Amino acid sequence: MPRAIFMVILMLGCGVVAHADVEFEPFFVDRTMRVDYFHTGGQGSEIFALDQIVSDGAWAGSTTRLIDDLNLGKYLFTVFDQETNRAIYSRGFASLYGEWETTGEAKSAHRTFHESLRFPWPQRPVRVILEKRDAENHFRPIWSLAIDPNSRFVNPAPPVPRGRVWAVQESGEPKKKVDLLILGEGYAENEMEQFHADAKRAADVLFGFEPFKSRRGDFNVWAIDLPAAASGVSRPRADEFRRTPISAQYNIFDSERYALTYDNKALRDVASAAPYEFVEILINEEQYGGGGIFNFQATASVRAGYADYLFVHEFGHHFAGLGDEYYTSSVAYETGGTSHPEPWEPNVTALHDPDALKWGDLVASGTPLPTPWSKLEYEEKMRAFQGRRRELRAQRVSEDAMDRLFDEVKAWATPYLAGQEHAGQVGAFEGASYEPVGLYRPAIDCIMFTRDEVGFCRVCQRGIERVIDLYAR
């Protein structure tokens, strides 16, 4: 079929997804369908290929909020009932591929990433349409897949548990709660007690920050014991390598502190033993590192000096699609532009029209937009810190030495930012999402901006609450 005709069919089939609730029972049964596929691209190409369709355990998600109306994520998939052409389930998400294609490597090489879509098991044939944001951040159809749940090519056999599931916190029926799954990576058999203590401490830290603190009763927290052959995970830049259950590692995209797993299938197979919507991986290492991808995975090095900050910050990315608000640290992505479309992240704006600011209702009357702050002085100081950090890394100093530098940065930045004229107010402060110019954050300081204990700003808190409501209502 010619591509132009194919795209027209997709666009007609996709249409506008209604925001009205869909009844669960007429369309689904109490089981999870997982569609695994390969996502390949590079040098301007992008291809999707089906891997398998399998059962992924009991359905733990909401049975009342089936349509995602939050407009988050670089991708959106929608499940349509074939008979009525009605949208019956949708979720936005981001992916490793979506991040990789913003790196320099994507211009000269091809890579393949494994990904999954999870949704309630349909009673009859459905059509899944995957959409991706274009250059203006509007969703456009990019892949379509017809699924007959009774086909011999769909495997309904239940998953085989790969570890022991236990409850860190159980607040109620999974379908009526947000279900967070904590996995331990790089814990040897004799370190399982330590993993239990780390998982409980991480949960307590998360629920110490608003709005998680006030909404703690809306969460279940599960964990899976997953012993590794040896302590620790792979750290390629340090010439240390391990074979671990879900292959979490440092140096994702060759960035020294970016830690995730490329092995989506292993992650999903392990996670299927527990009720979950969100996953955070505790990495049993001292090296500072972590990562968070919206509606996919988050990681945090649990032995690092700033482990508590890492867990909460990376969960903000994974859970609510919050963007990084800092912009002076080096990253693997290509940056440097001055003209930006309006970002989909709820806490970053291009401020094309101050009168239509997406968090404008939280801005007090009289607050100037853009909101002034001592940006140049801050950048000069942070450049000096970054230079010292690069020197320390080149010298391969201990993690304690790096933590002392972080302590020094925090000791200067926290009071400096708190002393700004518009500290504590919601506005539009230039410098966000790795860009010093053209992108703006809503507060002078936030846990998405610095490593201090200010917590989430009001805009980030609202974004988090909207996701909680999608799963716990």
Residue 114 has pLDDT above 60, yes or no: yes
Same domain for 168 and 145: no
**Domain endpoint, select from 263, 297, 321:** 321
Share of the chain above pLDDT 90, in %: 89
For 235, which DSSP code? B
146 assigned to some structural domain? yes
**φ, ψ (nearest 5 deg) of residue 347:** -115, 15
Q: Provide Rg for the chain, Cα atoms.
A: 22
Contact 119, 33 (CB under 8 A): yes
- Residue 473 has a pLDDT of 77
Determine how β-strand 75-81 pairs with β-strand 86-93.
Answer: antiparallel
CATH number, domain containing residue 83: 2.60.40.3250
| Domain end residue (candidates: 155, 175, 191) | 155
pLDDT, position 452:
85
Residue 386 inside a domain? The answer is yes
Same domain, 263 and 360: no
**How do residues 229-278 score in pLDDT, each as one tens digit?**
999 999 999 999 999 999 999 999 999 899 999 999 999 999 999 999 99
User: What does the pLDDT average to over 338-344?
Assistant: 89
Please indicate whether residue 217 or residue 13 has the higher confidence score (pLDDT): 217
Whether pLDDT at 409 is above 60: yes
What is the pLDDT, as a whole number, of residue 20?
A: 61
Q: Between 321 and 397, whose confidence is greater?
A: 321
In a domain, 30, yes or no: yes
148 and 232, same domain (yes or no)? no
pTM, rounded to two decimals? 0.93
CB-count burial class (<10 Å; 0-12, 13-18, 19+) for 142: middle
* 113 falls within a domain: yes
Q: Does 175 share its domain with 316?
A: yes
Judged against a pLDDT cut of 60, whether residue 18 lies above it is answered with: no
Whether 214 has a pLDDT exceeding 60, the answer reads yes
Do residues 374 and 243 share a domain?
no
> Given pLDDT bands bounded at 50, 70 and 90, which one contains residue 397?
confident
Phi-psi region of 71 (alpha: psi -120 to 50; beta: other; left: phi over 0): left
Residue (of 172, 124, 104, 177) closest to 334 by Cα position: 104
Q: Kindly report the CATH number assigned to the domain that includes residue 229.
A: 3.40.390.10
Does residue 35 belong to any structural domain of this protein? yes
Q: Which residue segment(s) compose the domain that 431 sits in?
A: 354-466
Mean pLDDT computed over 114-129: 98
User: Considering its fold, how many domains does the chain have in total?
Assistant: 3
Query: How sure is the predictor about 458, in pLDDT bands with cuts at 50, 70 and 90?
Result: very high
Residue 447: inside a domain, yes or no?
yes
**Percent of the chain at pLDDT above 70?**
94
Query: SS3 of 45, please?
Result: strand
The single-letter DSSP state of residue 368 is -
Task: Of 302, 332, 130, give the one whose Cα is nearest residue 233.
Answer: 302
- For 352-386, write each residue's pLDDT tens digit: 999 999 999 999 999 999 999 999 999 999 999 99
Residues 280 and 190 in one domain: yes
**Are 388 and 449 within one domain?**
yes
Is residue 348 in some structural domain? no
Residues 147, 180 within the same domain: no
Q: Which of 155, 177, 198 is the last residue of a domain?
A: 155
pLDDT score at 334: 52
**Do residue 171 and residue 151 come from a single domain?**
no
Instruction: Pick 59 or 15 by higher pLDDT.
Output: 59
Q: Are residues 150 and 39 in the same domain?
A: yes
Do residue 427 and residue 306 come from a single domain?
Answer: no
pLDDT single digits (tens) 140-157? 999 999 999 999 999 999
Has residue 390 got a pLDDT over 90?
no
**For the chain, first and last CA: distance in Å?**
43
Average pLDDT of the segment spanning 443-452: 95
User: pLDDT per residue over 63-99, tens digit each?
Assistant: 999 999 999 999 999 999 999 999 999 999 999 999 9
> Is 234 within a domain?
yes
Please return the burial class of 414, using the count of CB atoms within 10 Å of its CB with bins 0-12, 13-18 and 19+: middle
Q: What is the mean pLDDT of the chain?
A: 93
By mean pLDDT, which of 221-225, 326-330, 468-472 is the weakest?
326-330
Tell me: do 206 and 311 sit in the same domain: yes
Average pLDDT over every residue of 1-30: 59
Residues 8 and 3: their CA atoms lie apart, in Å, by 9
